[in-house]
Amino acid sequence: MSRTVLVTGATGYIARHIIRRLLDRGHTVVGTTRDASRDAEMRAALEPVLADRSSLERYRTVSLDLLRYNGWDSAMEGVDTLIHTASPFPISSPKNADDVVRPAVDGTLRALRAAQAAGIANVVLTSSSVAVTETSDHQDIYDETCWTDPQKTGLSPYALSKTLAERAAWEFVSTEATGMRLSVINPTFVLGAPLGSDFGTSIKVIERLMRGTDPMLPRFGFACCDVGDVAEAHVRAMDRSEAAGRRHIIYDRFMWLEEIASVIRDAAPSARPARRVAPDVLMRLVGVFDPAVRGIVPQLGKITRADNSRMREALGLEPRDTRESVAETARWLTDRKAA
Ligand code: NAP
């Protein structure tokens, strides 16, 4: 069945991959951005990767802001499915948590209310594994029953924003008589070649590693997944009955920065990621002055693993090996001389 899908945050790293897949499957897409003049940039990024370039005729960009009322109702006209990806994902923590929490939570509720008013019954929300894994007690393996504790000491504003936004979405569909079908995708750290030169925070982390800006690597790592798997998960979640009313962690493996750096070195020999691992005590000290480091201090030395059986069983997705995604990202950045 061909759908008309509104994708918020269309200019984003993940959203571009989702839109590509939607267009390839014959769907019509309305992409939202705060700056509609980015339509040309979107078309230029999508055109070379589409199975059929003429499918761009089924794409249009509209201007919407998560913090403003204007435009939501008209954007939703004729739409039958909402994929809500837009949310701030800053590389370093803002001083004021509200800078990320408000657009995440108010934006999610604004999108859901507009969808309800437009009679849209099918919603896929991009949450994050950070809404899952910051539980009060450490777990060996996290699954979809786990929820981040919003009161946890040292919780980043970003993790708080994603947790409260996802909670608000579940509450909205359960308490309001919406008749809405909600599926939630909880990606871990997303890697893989971007579409177009404006890439998000996760790719900037690889770029920073490749430049060797940091003389040492913190004892820090990520639960990782591939951007193609994340995009495919959103598209499958629209239709699969097993995905309705459920969260889905997208996860392949945990990788220490040291391991990511080693994959980068093999894939892109001109890159200069640091080799030495910094003692935790040094990172704590640096974190006092550097907000980008401060955010990772509570995670030093911690391994985060997740159960991906729901991704495999409900969505039918076998995860791509994220060592390949790291290598692909490193080659992509080298080819474009971004790193
Ligand atoms: P991204 O490239 O930064 O894209 C996010 C998009 O959100 C931006 O393109 C921006 O669009 C839009 N946005 C931000 N603030 C907005 C606001 N106030 N109003 C309207 N739109 C706003 O990030 P991404 O990596 O693709 O992430 C997309 C989603 O996946 C987010 O919800 C993020 O939390 C989630 N996620 C990402 C990862 C990861 O590793 N990348 C992992 C787990 C979950 P405009 O600037 O064009 O308006």
Q: How far is the CA of 144 from the centre of ligand 1 (A)?
A: 22
What is the pLDDT, as a whole number, of residue 339? 56
Domain count, the chain: 1
What is the pLDDT, as a whole number, of residue 93? 79
Q: pTM value? A: 0.96
Q: Is 89 in the pocket of ligand 1 (CB under 6 A)?
A: yes
Q: How far is the CA of 244 from the centre of ligand 1 (A)?
A: 23
Q: Enumerate residues 6+ apart whose C-beta is below 8 A from 90.
A: 100, 158, 201
Q: How far is the CA of 267 from the centre of ligand 1 (A)?
A: 27
The atom of ligand 1 lying closest to the CA of 13 is 26
What is the pLDDT, as a whole number, of residue 90? 85
The catalytic site residues sit at: 162
Q: Domain range holding 219?
A: 4-338
Kindly give the confidence (pLDDT) of every residue in the chain, 339 residues in length, as a single tens digit, with 9 standing for 90 and above.
899 999 999 999 999 999 999 999 999 999 999 998 999 999 999 999 999 999 999 999 999 999 998 999 999 999 999 999 999 998 877 889 999 999 999 999 999 999 999 999 999 999 999 999 999 998 899 999 999 999 998 899 999 999 999 999 999 999 877 889 999 999 999 999 999 988 889 999 999 999 998 889 999 999 999 999 999 999 999 999 999 999 999 999 999 999 999 999 999 999 999 999 999 999 999 888 887 788 788 889 999 999 999 999 999 999 999 999 999 999 999 998 765
CATH number at residue 55: 3.40.50.720
Ligand 1 atom 11: residue of nearest CA: 9
Which of 8, 64, 87, 205 to mutate for ligand 1's pocket (most ligand atoms within 8 Å of CB)? 87
Q: Enumerate residues 6+ apart whose C-beta is below 8 A from 221.
A: 254, 255, 256, 257, 259, 260, 303, 304
What is the pLDDT, as a whole number, of residue 293? 81
What is the pLDDT, as a whole number, of residue 82? 98
What is the pLDDT, as a whole number, of residue 287? 86
Q: Is 162 in the pocket of ligand 1 (CB under 6 A)?
A: yes
Separation of alpha carbons 63 and 61, rounded Å: 7
Helix (H/G/I), strand (E/B), else coil: 265: helix
Tell me which amino acid residue 261 is: A
What is the pLDDT, as a whole number, of residue 291? 74
Question: C-alpha distances in angstroms, 192 versus 195, 204, 225, 229, 326?
Answer: 10, 12, 9, 10, 6
Which of 7, 13, 19, 250 to mutate for ligand 1's pocket (most ligand atoms within 8 Å of CB)? 13
Q: Is 329 in the pocket of ligand 1 (CB under 6 A)?
A: no
What is the pLDDT, as a whole number, of residue 145? 98
